[in-house]
Structures are given as structure tokens and as C-alpha cells.
Amino acid sequence: MSASSYRDPRPQLDTKARAVRSEAADFADPFSEKYREIMKEQWQAKLLCLQGWICELLIKNQQLRMALMEIKSRETEDKSGRST
């Protein structure tokens, strides 16, 4: 390998490092488009998770309500059966 054909790899590394730093700066800047996009995705994921929990709670609430209604109807049947 001659001295004239040698290529210094540092300029390429410097370019990659600058790109990484630039991307990190974009993410850290709350006014950048990339930051807003990432935050939007994170909030959408949180929203979906909350919606799932709400659905689970509504289903459980309905199950408990139905069980309570059944217990109450049995109690009224027992009371009416005993009093006659």
C-alpha cells in the first residue's frame, strides 16, 4: 500500500459522529419535528394502554354488578319463601 493510496478513516467517522450528535440534538430539542413525532408515538401508546385498562375495568364492573343482582334476587326469594 503506497502512501498516496492511504485513506484516513477519521473524516468518515467524524461525519457519522456529527450525524449521531445532530440526531441526539433533534431529539433533545422539544421544538424539533423528530422530538414531536417520538412524543406523539409515546403518548399514543400510553393512550392505548389506558383504553385497555378502562375496558377491563368496565367488564369487571359489569361482572360484579351482575353477580350482585343475582345475590340480591336470591335474598329476596329466600325472604319471600320464608315469610309465607
Residue 51, pLDDT above cutoff 90: yes
Which residues span the domain enclosing 15? 10-83
Q: For the chain, state the CA radius of gyration.
A: 33
Residue 50, pLDDT above cutoff 90: yes
- Find the range with the poorest average confidence among 3-17, 25-39, 65-79: 3-17
Q: What is the mean pLDDT of residues 42-60?
A: 96
Residue 3, pLDDT above cutoff 60: no
Query: Is residue 1 domain-resident?
Result: no
Q: What is the mean pLDDT of residues 5-34?
A: 70
Query: Is residue 53 domain-resident?
Result: yes
Query: Is residue 33 domain-resident?
Result: yes
**Position of cell 360484579?**
64
How many domains, the chain? 1
What pLDDT is attached to residue 35?
87
Taking every pair of C-alpha atoms in the chain, what is the biggest distance, in angstroms? 113
Torsion of CA 37, 38, 40, 46, to 10 degrees: 170
What pLDDT is attached to residue 6?
64
Query: Is residue 15 domain-resident?
Result: yes
Query: Is residue 32 domain-resident?
Result: yes
Query: Is residue 4 domain-resident?
Result: no
Query: Is residue 3 domain-resident?
Result: no
